[in-house]
Structure 1
Amino acid sequence: MITTTSNRTEELQKKLVAFMDDYIYPNEKLYEQQLNEADTRWIIPPIVEELKEKAKDQGLWNLFNREEGYGTQLSNYEYAHLCEIMGRSLIAPEVFNCNAPDTGNMEVLMQYGTKEQQEQWLYLLLDGKIRSCFTMTEPDVASSDATNIQSHIIREGDEYIINAKKWWSSGAMDPRCEIAIFMGKTDPEGPIHEQQSMVLVPMNTPGVEVKRHLPVFGYDHAPHGHAEVHFNNVRVPVSNLLYEEGKGFEIAQSRLGPGRIHHCMRAIGAAERALELMCERVNSRETFGSPLAEKGVVREFIAESRLEIDQARLLTLHAARKMDEEGTKAARKEIAMIKIVAPRVSLNVIDRAIQMFGGAGVSDDFPLAAHWANARTLRIVDGPDQVHLRDIGRLELKNYQ
């Protein structure tokens, strides 16, 4: 496969693979053990902070960043190769400070934040000292269409007054979550894509209330978690506005492009690990007088998985390179395509692996069930499949009009 990268990226790949082998996989069980033994699951396990320091020491920190002056400055295409490696473990992204939604929030602050906003929040996020959340989705409207957002941002003098109900705010359960990027309407009567704005809201602001935790297929995703958050007459200074009023939709679109590359490559990493586990399993188990690896259907499972993973990877890398060379808008169709393909492939491969593991596959003894649940959510987050299919069809038809 033609997936050539720079010498620097290849060196980072080698270091990242070694780090995963030496520190991440061996500590996955310890991570869960420390979570379960704590008084509350909403406290970061000590092993994570230990591993973060090791990652910093090895130069494996903030690898996601593309902006000049903030670290590695890898392109989307270069970082995609690293993101796949991190996606093989659900605990890995935070260890390298490459976890969502913090990566997207940091990118927003880099591109649109004022110097004061960056000094107050960005540098703490880049150093891994605090965490953040992104509050856009609402329970009372179909949030797959961001123009449906009903949250109110009303200016009164030098303050904004915010009222809203948000949910699926990933990271809001984490006690280290200190800042939210909030999206709501400042001009409900304006042009449909210029009604929304984004405002920085410290989580300790009076009126911000984390109402409840939202599990995913029974997984609490602690200590990160997902929450329903209410904003009741929350007041923040006008200086907390990101960019300009009416630019919220524009900011969201710029944020989602790279984020979709990250999600897809992590999903491919999860699929690759599932295939490895499946191959190891079928070589070590025997049924009806012969190893599982000798069964025709098992070899078909493995072959189909390899085909799908490599196709999804190449398509995602193609989208990443097009983003780098032509911009996010030019790569809109390719980004929509991978957002459909990568989660589907990941689910297919993980499901086959679960089948080969039998009862063990749906247990917590192996990472397959948790990875499957995570991959299934990707068919919804950052836009459901149906929205992307609509866009792909429309963009394809334009070629024939």
Structure 2
Amino acid sequence: MERSSKAGEIMDALNAFMDEHIYPNEALYEQQLAQGADRFNVPPIMEELKARAREAGLWNLFLPHSEYGAGLTNAEYAPLAEVMGRVQFASEVFNCSAPDTGNMEVLDRYGTPEQKARWLQPLLDGKIRSSFCMTEPEVASSDATNITTSIDRDGDHYVINGRKWWITNAYHPNTKIYIVMGKTNPDAPRHRQQSQILVEPDTPGISLIRPLTAFGFYDEPKGQAEIVFDNVRVPASNLILGEGRGFEISQGRLGPGRIHHCMRIIGQCERMLEQTCRRLLSRTAFGEVLADQSLWQDRIANARTDINMLRQLVEHTAHLMDTVGNKQARSEISQIKVAAVRVGRSVADLAVQAHGAAGLCNDFGLGYAFTRMNMIRMGDGPEEVHNRTIARLELKKYSDPGASSAK
């Protein structure tokens, strides 16, 4: 896909930065992470790399059409996200990691000047991190209208009561703000019951119950938390956009976020396929190099084809988002979420199998990679929900009285 000269220059600079600073420091990052006194400590090398990235101008690249970002379109940013996705911590180095990207987009689009000054600017500067609190243990959160957390007006404040879980970044030591989604009016129309409000983590009544593990991984240094909000009082001025606008905000937030996730998955797939090929070329079984066996050649060919097809679909979706908007690209946005996770899980499984017993631990990062793919399968809506959207939009094309019949 054609890109501007500016985007090309950024890509060249990003690749050079990855070669010079990110890949050589992968082992050090993991070493410092493991040596920290706290499970959720921030490796010192992270802050060093962030300072270098900002100095190099590789900062906040994700915000399209915004005075705060690099001015790139979704289509121009997509391949950059792929490069960052090759290393699991790299996107944070460039201040382009979730959930901060989505939260910054919310504040950029919908925040008041006061909210932007207090929370958006520190996020843009990389001084703080943030969480998005929506998923709940007591309901099927794949349907966001199910949430039961209450946000009740009381004079100049709102009072929040509820339980959330799988809240990314909640244990990160630099997290200073949550965006909490709850119901301000359970009697309103279904998609006007929810609101979103800004809550500081040290507000009385907030309890971090436990860090949650995914297949044994704690997802350091971010952490996935279960959180209880017990009569948490926050100023009414912390509400975002207005009562009943929470679902609307979520829809505006998730489109770009899914593009980012999908492109990072492609980058991770490329890295895992590279690891797989190197492993197969270096191992012999039953007198034959594994890479020479037709079984593995077939698997490698399928992986290569799947990754390339996924990239084309994601780039096409990014183009649609830029040209016709997120609403018109709803089907494609759901398609890439489903396709990216399917390909990602397939390639991760391939890499684990190719590494044999070594693939079951994390010596090659594959245990965590496989886990991340399964976590993302649930995040931003499970594939069943997205398939429902895709099917409904497809059927709608032919349900109108004037729709032409198949020929």
TM-score (norm 2): 0.96
SS in 2 for 1:168: strand
Identify the residue that residue 127 of structure 1 maps to in structure 2. Answer: 125
SS in 2 for 1:49: helix
Identify the residue that residue 218 of structure 1 maps to in structure 2. Answer: 216
SS in 2 for 1:61: coil
Asked whether 1:140 is paired with 2:151, we answer no
Contact 1:67–1:110 (CA under 8 A) maintained in structure 2:
no
Q: Which amino acid aligns with 1:359?
A: A
Identify the residue that residue 193 of structure 1 maps to in structure 2. Answer: 191
Identify the residue that residue 405 of structure 2 maps to in structure 1. Answer: none
1:96 deviates by 0.7
Contact 1:197–1:249 (CA under 8 A) maintained in structure 2:
yes
* Farther-moved stretch of structure 1 (275-284 vs 321-330): 275-284
Is the alpha carbon distance of 1:347 and 1:171 closer, same or farther for their aligned partners in structure 2, counting shifts above 3 Å? same
Identify the residue that residue 312 of structure 1 maps to in structure 2. Answer: 310
Asked whether 1:367 is paired with 2:374, we answer no
Identify the residue that residue 286 of structure 2 maps to in structure 1. Answer: 288
Identify the residue that residue 19 of structure 1 maps to in structure 2. Answer: 17
Q: Distance in 1 between matches of 2:367 and 2:215?
A: 10
1:48 paired residue among 40, 46, 52: 46
Q: Which amino acid aligns with 1:141?
A: V
SS in 2 for 1:379: helix
Identify the residue that residue 176 of structure 1 maps to in structure 2. Answer: 174
1:277 paired residue among 271, 275, 278: 275
Instruction: Encode CA deviations 1:353-384: one digit per residue, 9 max, x unaligned.
Output: 22111112222210222111101111111000
Contact 1:24–1:91 (CA under 8 A) maintained in structure 2:
no
Q: Distance in 2 between matches of 1:169 and 1:143?
A: 13
Instruction: Encode CA deviations 1:334-370: one digit per residue, 9 max, x unaligned.
Output: 0111110001101111211221111122222102221
* Farther-moved stretch of structure 1 (67-76 vs 79-88): 67-76
Identify the residue that residue 75 of structure 1 maps to in structure 2. Answer: 73
Mapping of 1:226-245 within 5 angstroms? 226-245=224-243
Mapping of 1:94-133 within 5 angstroms? 94-133=92-131
Q: Distance in 2 between matches of 1:215 and 1:250?
A: 31
1:398 deviates by 1.0
Q: Distance in 1 between matches of 2:71 and 2:209?
A: 38
Contact 2:84–2:264 (CA under 8 A) maintained in structure 1:
yes
1:76 deviates by 1.0
Contact 1:153–1:161 (CA under 8 A) maintained in structure 2:
yes
Q: Distance in 2 between matches of 1:370 and 1:89?
A: 12
Task: Extract unaligned runs of 5+ from structure 1.
Answer: none
Q: Which amino acid aligns with 1:150?
A: T
1:271 deviates by 0.6
Task: Extract unaligned runs of 5+ from structure 2.
Answer: 400-407
SS in 2 for 1:267: helix
* Farther-moved stretch of structure 1 (19-28 vs 225-234): 19-28
1:150 deviates by 0.7
Q: Distance in 1 between matches of 2:13 and 2:216?
A: 34
Asked whether 1:340 is paired with 2:322, we answer no
Q: Distance in 2 between matches of 1:310 and 1:245?
A: 43
Q: Distance in 2 between matches of 1:103 and 1:71?
A: 11
Instruction: Encode CA deviations 1:180-199: one digit per residue, 9 max, x unaligned.
Output: 00111111100100011111
1:155 deviates by 0.6
Q: Distance in 1 between matches of 2:356 and 2:21?
A: 28
Contact 1:198–1:241 (CA under 8 A) maintained in structure 2:
yes
Identify the residue that residue 266 of structure 1 maps to in structure 2. Answer: 264
SS in 2 for 1:12: helix
Mapping of 1:87-98 within 5 angstroms? 87-98=85-96
Contact 2:151–2:183 (CA under 8 A) maintained in structure 1:
yes
SS in 1 for 2:185: coil
Q: Distance in 2 between matches of 1:68 and 1:181?
A: 21
Q: Which amino acid aligns with 1:371?
A: A
RMSD: 1.0
1:105 deviates by 0.2
Q: Distance in 2 between matches of 1:68 and 1:188?
A: 34
1:217 deviates by 1.2
TM-score (norm 1): 0.98
Instruction: Encode CA deviations 1:129-178: one digit per residue, 9 max, x unaligned.
Output: 01100001111111000010111111111111111101111000112111
1:258 deviates by 0.5
Contact 2:65–2:73 (CA under 8 A) maintained in structure 1:
no
1:67 deviates by 3.7
Q: How many residues align?
A: 399
1:68 deviates by 2.5
1:279 deviates by 1.5
* Farther-moved stretch of structure 1 (361-370 vs 335-344): 361-370
Contact 2:62–2:69 (CA under 8 A) maintained in structure 1:
no
Q: Which amino acid aligns with 1:154?
A: D
Q: Which amino acid aligns with 1:131?
A: R
